[in-house]
Each structure stands twice: as C-alpha cells, then as structure tokens.
C-alpha cells in the first residue's frame, strides 16, 4: 500500500456516501502501533512522553499531560484549581455538552453565557452579567476552529480575580495573535476524539505553564500518585491514564498536521469561493481578524437548514447541524444557571450547517457537494 493512501480510501469514492468528517488514517499509524507491539508496553510509557513533548513543541506550552479524553482533561483542570461544590464556572451557551458536564462532575455549577454574533464564541459583554461572589473560573471554547477573544477574556479574569480554563478541544493548530490557543489561561485542553483535526481514537491533553498545576493534573489522572510503580497514594485521584496505542496514533497524526491544516484550508476556500455569493441567505462563518484558524469544519448559516440537510442526505451527502444550545438541553433541570433567553444561540443553532470537510474529501466529491448546493440555492 502506498503510505499516502488512506486506509478508508474507498469511503469517499464518488459513487458512495460523502461523509461530513473522518480521520486520515493510513499505514503510518500502523507503523507507529507496531512500535507499541514490539515494546510490549501498552500502558503509558515512552511513546506517551514523546507525544506530550511533541504537543509542547507544537503549542509552546511548558507542560502537557495526556489523558483518556478531553472531558477528563477539563475535569482535571477544574479539580486542580480546587473548584467544586458551591462554585460557579462561566461557560458559553453553544459548545459540546462536555464543557458543562465537566463542571457538573466537580459539583460546581455551569453559568451559561450568550455567544457573540460574529464567531459564536463567548460574548464578554454578556459574561459581565454572569459574575457572582461564587464565580471561580471562566471556560472559553474555541469553536469550530476559530479562537475566542483571549485578550478580553484574560482581562475579564484579572478584573474579577478568577481562573481561565480554555476548552480548545476543537482548536488543534489554531492561533490567537500567533500564539496557540489553550496556552493563554491558567490551564487549557485539547481533544483528539475521532472527528477532530487530528485523532488518537480518543484522547485529551492538559496544557499549562504552571508546574504545580501540571503535577496536580498528573496525580488526578493517575490514582493520586506522582508516578508509576508505587502503591502509596497521597491524594485522591482517578484513572484517566493514556495508553501507548493512543500515543502511537497521536505521534503519527501530529506529523501529518501541517498537511491536514493545508488541505482543510483548500476545502474551505473552494466552498467559500463557489458558494458565498450565491444567495444572501446562505452566509459563511467568517474568520476572526485576531485568529489564524484551522477549518475543522466549514460552516454556513441558512434559514432552511433542516430542509437543506435532508436534501443533501437524499443525495448521499452527510452534513451536520451546530451544537444544540446548553440552555435548551433536555437533560438539564437544576444543574445549570441561565441568564436571559439565549435568542441568539437558538437562532444560530436553527440556521447553522457544516459541510463535508474531511482531509480525505476528494476534489471530485467536493464538486458534487457544491453542484448540489448550487442546484438547491439557484
């Protein structure tokens, strides 16, 4: 097999269903996994350290602590800062539910903040309405490969003497004023779930420049221990340890990251060039001026989103709606604090659609998507 050929090559053949997102996995991941099999170390060991070092090099963070997934990483960040029962954490209303759930897992309460109208990240003017004497942290989310306004967020945190935890689960490779997201706050996290820009299958990492916070997160993920090979536990901890298999895939994926980012930009630019001016009601998500984005998804706003998604599905094209706003999640009753009616969040959800954006999307298949959308919008 040519190492440049994805193992899932046939999935994106023109006659098949066009997926919205999928990872770029090929024989290079198999080569890295063979290192694990040959070593016989399957729990975190040398490859995990290598992966963490590569993350530090990519992000500029002093420390990186690899964990089972991004949710566990958020939870450990909160616990490392001593956040728990009776505390409040400000989170944006549009994000994947794990952002709020990680807060709830600590016993603290998520306070839902409205998003801004341009890039759908947390609105810092609205955040002022969310502050109480119980507020301990703000958790901005870098949504869909865009960055939140970290200057404003850090100034807000300083003003109110609270902590900043960056949820950069969707932000691998994203820069804010030429600095990698996840490295501005006290702590930040990245995610490597299967649909992210790069993947470990599952996985997350905590970023911090603070040695004490790094050590606290490591203990939390490692049963309260400072290392392996001891059965004395000086702290309460959990089992969120990484595996060498995850590290092996992650190492290979990090080597591919520049190519993935470049390809996603090509996909985004072609959609933008061909579709942005077809209809005044089909509005692209524009890049923030302060941000060097990674187009994890290419997204638009459209009033007939549901009908468009169904039209594409009937033509064997998968698309995706935006995250469902937290204020309307049916699982939440008394676990969250709301401010206002979140009219903007609901409007963005009602109109938001993300198009096929996988690295493996061929030019031919992208033109199938574009032609179908041109047909719909004409």
User: Could you give phi then psi for residue 324, rounded to 5 degrees?
Assistant: -75, 130
Query: Which CATH number goes with the domain that contains 59?
Result: 3.40.640.10
**Predicted local distance difference test score (pLDDT) of residue 378:** 86
Q: Which are the contacts of 30, defined by CB distance < 8 A and separation ≥ 6?
A: none
Same structural domain, 246 and 278: no
Same structural domain, 237 and 322: no
Residues of the chain under the 70 pLDDT cut: 1-15
Q: Are 171 and 121 in contact (CB under 8 A)?
A: no
**Predicted local distance difference test score (pLDDT) of residue 271:** 97
Whether 196 is catalytic is yes
Of the candidates 163, 196, 221, 372, the residue annotated as catalytic is 196
**Predicted local distance difference test score (pLDDT) of residue 191:** 98
Instruction: Give the predicted TM-score (pTM) of the model.
Output: 0.94
Extract the tokens encoding 372: 């179908």
Domain end residue (candidates: 198, 220, 250): 250
Same structural domain, 115 and 173: yes
Q: Are 362 and 14 in contact (CB under 8 A)?
A: yes
Pairing of β 135-138 and β 88-92: parallel
Range of the domain at 158: 27-250
Q: 2: part of which helix (H) or strand (E)?
A: none
Number of domains in the chain: 2
**Predicted local distance difference test score (pLDDT) of residue 12:** 46
**Predicted local distance difference test score (pLDDT) of residue 246:** 98
DSSP string, 321-374: EPPPPGGG-TT-SSS-B--S--HHHHHHHHHEEEE---TT--HHHHHHHHHHHH
**Predicted local distance difference test score (pLDDT) of residue 328:** 97
**Predicted local distance difference test score (pLDDT) of residue 355:** 98
The alpha carbon dihedral of 36, 38, 39, 43 has a sign of: positive
Same structural domain, 171 and 229: yes
């Amino acid at each position: 097999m040519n190492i440049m050929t994805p193992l899932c090559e046939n999935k994106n053949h023109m006659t098949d269903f066009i997926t919205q997102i999928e990872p770029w996995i090929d024989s290079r991941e198999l080569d890295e996994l063979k290192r694990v099999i040959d070593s016989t170390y399957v729990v975190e060991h040398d490859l995990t350290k290598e992966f963490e070092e590569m993350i530090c090099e990519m992000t500029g963070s002093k420390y990186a602590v690899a964990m089972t997934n991004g949710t566990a990483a958020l939870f450990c960040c909160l616990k490392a800062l001593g956040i728990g029962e009776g505390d409040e954490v400000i989170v944006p209303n549009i994000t994947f539910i794990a952002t709020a759930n990680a807060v709830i897992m600590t016993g603290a309460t998520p306070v839902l903040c409205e998003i801004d109208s341009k890039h759908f990240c947390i609105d810092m003017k609205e955040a002022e309405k969310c502050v109480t004497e119980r507020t301990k942290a703000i958790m901005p989310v870098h949504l869909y490969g865009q960055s939140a306004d970290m200057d404003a967020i850090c100034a807000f945190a300083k003003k109110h003497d609270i902590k900043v935890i960056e949820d950069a689960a969707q932000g691998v490779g994203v820069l804010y004023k030429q600095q990698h997201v996840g490295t501005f706050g006290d702590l930040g996290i990245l995610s490597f779930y299967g649909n992210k820009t790069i993947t470990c299958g599952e996985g997350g990492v905590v970023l911090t420049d603070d040695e004490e916070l790094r050590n606290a997160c490591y203990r939390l993920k490692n049963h309260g221990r400072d290392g392996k090979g001891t059965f004395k536990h000086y702290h309460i901890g959990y089992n969120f340890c990484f595996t060498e298999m995850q590290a092996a895939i992650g190492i290979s994926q990090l080597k591919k990251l520049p190519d993935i980012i470049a390809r996603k930009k090509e996909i985004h630019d072609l959609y933008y060039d061909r579709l942005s001016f077809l209809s005044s009601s089909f509005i692209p998500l524009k890049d923030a001026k302060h941000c060097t984005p990674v187009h994890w998804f290419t997204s638009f706003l459209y009033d007939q989103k549901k009908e468009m998604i169904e039209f594409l599905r009937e033509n064997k094209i998968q698309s995706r709606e935006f995250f469902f706003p937290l204020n309307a999640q049916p699982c939440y009753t008394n676990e969250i604090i709301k401010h206002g009616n979140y009219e903007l969040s609901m409007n963005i959800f009602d109109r938001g659609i993300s198009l096929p954006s996988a690295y493996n999307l061929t030019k031919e298949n992208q033109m199938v998507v574009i032609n179908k959308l041109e047909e719909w919008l004409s």
